[in-house]
Structure 1
Amino acid sequence: MQETLFDRNGNAIAYVDYDDENTIYLWNGKPAAYLDDDKRIYGFNGKHLGWYENGVIWNLSGEKNGFNDSALPVFAKFEPFKSFKKFKPFKSFKQFAKTKPYYKTNTSKESLSQFLMNGAK
Structure 2
Amino acid sequence: MSIYLWSGHAVAYISGENLHGWNGRHIGWFVNGVFYNRLGHRVGSIGSKCPYALYATPAKYAKYTKYAKYARCAVYVRPGLSSGYSQEPFEEFLRSGAVGLV
Gaps of 5+ in 1: 1-21
Partner residue, 2:55:
77
TM-score (norm 2): 0.94
Greater share of residues in strand: 1
For residues 31 and 48 of structure 2, the distance between their equivalents in structure 1, rounded to whole angstroms, comes to 12
What CA distance in whole angstroms lies between the structure 2 residues aligned with 1:39 and 1:100? Answer: 10
- Name the residue aligned to 1:49: 27
Give distance in 1, aligned partners of 2:88 and 2:81: 16
Q: Structure 1 length normalisation: TM-score?
A: 0.79
Instruction: Give the SS at the match of 2:4.
Output: strand
3-state SS of the aligned residue for 1:98?
A: coil
Counterpart position of 2:4: 25
Quote the residue 1:119 is aligned against.
97
Identity level (%):
33
Say if 2:40 is the partner of 1:62: yes
Structure 2 gap segments, 5+ residues each: none
How many angstroms does 1:70 deviate by?
A: 1.7
Aligned residue pair count = 99
RMSD of equivalent CA atoms: 0.7
| Aligned residue number for residue 67 of structure 2 | 89
User: Shift of the alpha carbon at 1:28?
Assistant: 1.1
